[in-house]
Amino acid sequence: MIRQCLVIPAAMLAMLITARFFYHSMKTSTKVLLKSNGPRGNLNEPQNCDEKEYDAREMRLRIDLVKKYTKERSFFREAVVIFGTPDGSSEVFGSIISSDAKVFYLPKVLNKLSYYMKHEPTIGFPLATALIEEVLKCNFEEKEFLLHHLMQDKTRNLSRTLLGAPECVAKERYGATLTANNRCTKAFSDWLATECDQSDQLLIQTDQLKSILSLQVLMTVPKLRSLSIRVVHVVRDPRAVIHDISKSVTKELSGEELGLTSYRICAQMMLNVKTGENPPNWLEGRYLLVKIEDFLNNPKRELAKLNEFLKRRNNSFGNLESLFRVQKAQKWRSEMSPESVRLVEEKCGKVLALLRYKKVA
């Protein structure tokens, strides 16, 4: 019986040589077809089948491996972490840039862990990074505390993704008891996993992490190598942030308490902006600083920058009106006393200068 010889096109050979690094990573025990003893004739012509059958099988195996590799790369997805400070409006910014139907957006993903992160940081921060890792892998099983948070209207209204949740989710309220056996919880978990898997880009937002350096474990962990994680650092005028924090507590901050809060917020902001300006290797090329005020004053220019960073083709995002509603951005000018403004500017002078905010006091 005459065997048919395998004819190897030159283009496939070129592809194999180009993907040589891939072969090494597969750790196969097969030998390279082109040995050091010189060429074996024209690969576009039939070869002696008895001598070449083994190499032909090896070549076919390698071609299949390269095809599989390139197919996996075609499903390579972008993940974006929107990093902000409390009362910095980063969650609203996230809702604007996630208006595309192919973007999966979850705001305030770490809010339910804020107590542990503040009072038990040795437990809270590992839990936080582990939760983000699971979300980026589209795993929502046994995460009732997160699901309960995402079911709340206040959270759902920030995300186009969550507004499409199963009907039962809209009926859940703060008093609902969520367990693994709760039908709605199970339906919501499955729905989130499906939506996440089918999306082109994953987008999560948090203002609970104190340092951008906390993201290092996520951006270097081998388990997430199928994702390219980028960081959008959203900042807002520190005076506006501190004003909103002051208004949110029972008694408005003043004097020494206002000074301490201002110093703490601005020192944290300063460290994160400096980290972005001089990024470590794992963050280089993956970081973008966005000032809320710049976004409001020149949305066209800022959208172009954001599109380029996120590698998007669309020229617009969601309705900027929602960001203008948070135009508490300038309320501090009329609502803060001159003494309070002067104190905040004194404690935050370095970060105000770094971010090019002008002093008024």
pLDDT surpasses 90 at 75: no
Q: Which of 60, 51, 45, 48 is nearest to 13 (CA)?
A: 60
pLDDT surpasses 60 at 180: no
Mean pLDDT score of the chain, rounded to an integer?
A: 77
Position 179 confidence tier, pLDDT thresholds 50, 70, 90: low
pLDDT digits (tens, 9 = 90+) for 36-53: 344 444 444 555 565 667
Q: What percent of the chain has pLDDT over 90?
A: 25
Write the CB contacts of 148 (distance below 8 Å, at least 6 apart in sequence): 112, 172, 176, 178
Q: Which of 161, 162, 163, 158 is nearest to 94 (CA)?
A: 158
pLDDT surpasses 90 at 105: yes
pLDDT for the residue numbered 264: 92
CB 234 within 8 A of CB 296: no
pLDDT surpasses 60 at 328: no
Class of the domain covering 78-173+184-320+327-355: alpha beta
Q: What percent of the chain has pLDDT over 70?
A: 70
Position 239 confidence tier, pLDDT thresholds 50, 70, 90: very high
Position 225 confidence tier, pLDDT thresholds 50, 70, 90: low
Position 322 confidence tier, pLDDT thresholds 50, 70, 90: low
Position 30 confidence tier, pLDDT thresholds 50, 70, 90: very low
How many C-beta atoms lie closer than 10 Å to residue 242's C-beta? 26
Structure tokens at 298: 């020149």
Mean pLDDT over 191-197 rounds to 92
Domain ranges of the chain: 78-173+184-320+327-355
Mean pLDDT over 134-144 rounds to 87
pLDDT surpasses 80 at 74: no
pLDDT digits (tens, 9 = 90+) for 250-285: 566 778 888 898 999 999 999 999 999 999 999 999
Between these two residues, 76 and 44, which has the higher pLDDT value? 76
Distance separating alpha carbons of residues 303 and 315, to the nearest angstrom: 7
Query: Measuring CA to CA, how many Å separate 77 from each of 160, 162, 204, 289?
Result: 19, 20, 14, 22
Distance separating alpha carbons of residues 50 and 5, to the nearest angstrom: 9
Position 2 confidence tier, pLDDT thresholds 50, 70, 90: very low
Q: What size, in residues, is the chain?
A: 361
CB 265 within 8 A of CB 238: yes
pLDDT for the residue numbered 334: 84
**φ, ψ at 289 (rounded to 5°):** -95, 130
pLDDT for the residue numbered 231: 94
